[in-house]
Structure 1
């Protein structure tokens, strides 16, 4: 029976990582061993689970069905073992993806106490403002920050926090071009827009229960939050930022908050589980911790 569990675990890692070599590195096995184990599984079942080419692998229809059930069974086994050992003995690796600036200023500081309580856990972080292929990258949980519905609607998800958004600019920009007092005045200013997270040229405000949308002129489009922050500090225009993202710069005077009587829709912080709505015990533990910590920040 143990060989069957190994076959199942190896197959899931190959399917989620998108390749035999990456799965071999993560499992600390040789690539021929991983290939042999998957081949043995397919031979025992009498079906093809993976279509292999020289550059990639893909799941067959049978492989997709098997992957769903295998994930569930492996999670059940891990939960049973964890219940016997107790939550204090969490171990293994969690691959955690997150946006760059929010990850650096909110998520990473929140991990100190969690990792202190679970010394046998290791966290591998993927920090990027680009939308990763979570399955291909073998991600266990991704922290997603945005406004509106999640793109990855087929994945399991849990909302962790709401984050206040602000309009900000550098004193140098305001000195040169004036300070807008209302959303309507933003239309005549240079604005900085970030691809992905808040990448839109229509900014929506609420004041006294009245909603106002303003089409801004985006002189700069930037694909990362650190880039947006740097451009705003450099006086290149007016930007949207979360309070966590720009809090330090607001306190030290590098940036100024604008149009404070109008409110933007808050950004929502989600944990997304590529493996489905029933993540492993270690993933549930880290998400529980992040929810308790991040929800108190803003």
Structure 2
């Protein structure tokens, strides 16, 4: 392997993960070898790129500038190789970070036909609902739901997911079924922390009419699987996506409420930590997901 290309690979992974050992493991090197490569790179450039302590690794100002260029160089080289091989010969690994429920019920099922088309590609998936540091996690792409935070990341919408209100038959038997949005205020709502970070309000649409209702609840959960479990346990009314609740509604474990009203859909985005121009293989995956999930 070309020494300068290896330097770029090692530096990029150390900078992104904040760990020499993790970078060395991913690149199948020993930790001392990874350290020597970075030391040699810094000596050749005549600048300090990384600040090392016993617990972590941080970028210097020069290191941050070099990281941007290193990522671009890596992307350009990968694009050049893909152009020579052709789009149908993509290879390598795509590292994904996905939310648990949407990842399980939408993203992962969509991968089967993608990997069948590109048999030389591998996919590594991290599943969690909290919004982790994507750079430190070393992912190529993340799926994010809802409003995106201001960021230097690139992003592209891949789907718009319908939302609805549901409750279990046991809850409705005890508390009654709400017939209008106003009646929701007398019920317990299972609050999803990311959906209701400040105020427990919900906008409901019926034709041109908009109704905003205030919700209350005894249970607040920060992960979608917990919201679903709480609804199934009869703890209250939940605001969920169609994909998240499809199986449970089909089996009669959850009942849709106020079907004449619509909730604002939840947008799903592909987010690229490397910037607005991801690699060819990532762009191919995004195109595939849009074709499968858009409807």
Distance 2:17 2:117 in 1: 28
- Residue 166 of structure 2 corresponds to 168
Cα distance per residue 1:1-54 (max 9 Å; x no partner)? 921121112111111122111111111111111111111111111111111111
How far does residue 279 in structure 1 lie from its aligned partner after superposition?
A: 0.8
Q: Secondary structure at the match of 1:142?
A: strand
**What is the TM-score when the length of structure 2 is the normalising length?**
0.96
Matched-pair contact (CA < 8 Å) for 1:18–1:135: no
Matched-pair contact (CA < 8 Å) for 1:130–1:196: no
Cα distance per residue 1:174-226 (max 9 Å; x no partner)? 11001111222111111101122555511111223222221111211112111
Structure 1 unaligned spans of 5+:
none
Distance 1:154 1:197 in 2: 23
Q: Secondary structure at the match of 2:135?
A: coil
Q: Give runs of aligned pairs for residues 6-25 of structure 1, distance below 5 A.
A: 6-25=6-25
Point out 4+ residue stretches in structure 1 off by more than 4 angstroms.
Answer: 197-200
- Residue 263 of structure 1 corresponds to 262
Distance 2:286 2:26 in 1: 22
Q: Secondary structure at the match of 1:286?
A: helix
Q: Identify which of 157, 160, 166 aligns with 1:159.
A: 157
Distance 2:178 2:238 in 1: 12
Distance 2:103 2:202 in 1: 24
- Residue 291 of structure 1 corresponds to 290
Q: Give runs of aligned pairs for residues 189-204 of structure 1, distance below 5 A.
A: 189-197=187-195, 199=197, 201-204=200-203
- Residue 243 of structure 2 corresponds to 244
How far does residue 122 in structure 1 lie from its aligned partner after superposition?
A: 1.2
Distance 1:258 1:229 in 2: 15
Q: Give runs of aligned pairs for residues 188-227 of structure 1, distance below 5 A.
A: 188-197=186-195, 199=197, 201-227=200-226
- Residue 57 of structure 2 corresponds to 57
Q: Give runs of aligned pairs for residues 92-171 of structure 1, distance below 5 A.
A: 92-146=92-146, 149-171=147-169
What's the RMSD between the two structures over aligned residues? 1.3
Distance 2:89 2:148 in 1: 33
- Residue 178 of structure 2 corresponds to 180
- Residue 278 of structure 2 corresponds to 279
Distance 2:243 2:166 in 1: 13
1:81 matches 2:70:
no
How far does residue 152 in structure 1 lie from its aligned partner after superposition?
A: 4.8
Distance 1:97 1:261 in 2: 35
Matched-pair contact (CA < 8 Å) for 1:18–1:137: no
Structure 2 unaligned spans of 5+:
none
How far does residue 153 in structure 1 lie from its aligned partner after superposition?
A: 2.6
Distance 2:203 2:50 in 1: 46
